[in-house]
Structure 1
């Protein structure tokens, strides 16, 4: 039976950023361990805004300006 290395059990430490350039805006998608958690939208001629998954349930909330620094949060128990 092959042994598992420590690398197999680690989580991704840095986000993966995908940049999509369109004629009227630039969209940056931020993923961590394959899960989309934030989208940065920079429209041409307008202010930058963010779509942020604040609870981890896939529902994005629009935020104007820079996102606030949030401490890490984990689900400890669910009922």
Structure 2
């Protein structure tokens, strides 16, 4: 292998490893978790710190769980400025 290609492969592996290990973009340690099952079978978990909603984890009956966050701490879930829809995050890697 060429040295530049080898360096690129190593850099990509380190980058992906760093992305996978960063965890949630908000601190939910010590959060109160309220879990409920929706009519369609999805599981809805609210994470509240000091009574303020910080994160929501939604686990569909079929499919991968996804997350909604309040990263700025204003009490509202983050939204895309253009469409005003919640920003949705999936966990891509875990080990």
TM-score by length of 2: 0.50
Higher helix share: 2
Higher strand share: 1
Moved >4 Å (runs of 4+): none
User: Alignment partner for residue 70 of structure 2, among 29, 49, 53?
Assistant: 53
Q: Structure 2 regions of 5+ residues with no counterpart?
A: 1-28, 79-86
- Measured in 2, the distance between the counterparts of 1:53 and 1:25 equals 21
Deviations 1:4-58 (A, max 9, x none): xxxxxxxxx7110000112320000000111110000001112211110010113
TM-score by length of 1: 0.59
RMSD between superposed Cα atoms in Å = 1.6
User: Alignment partner for residue 41 of structure 1, among 34, 58, 63?
Assistant: 58
The higher radius of gyration belongs to: 2
Q: Structure 1 regions of 5+ residues with no counterpart?
A: 1-12, 67-79
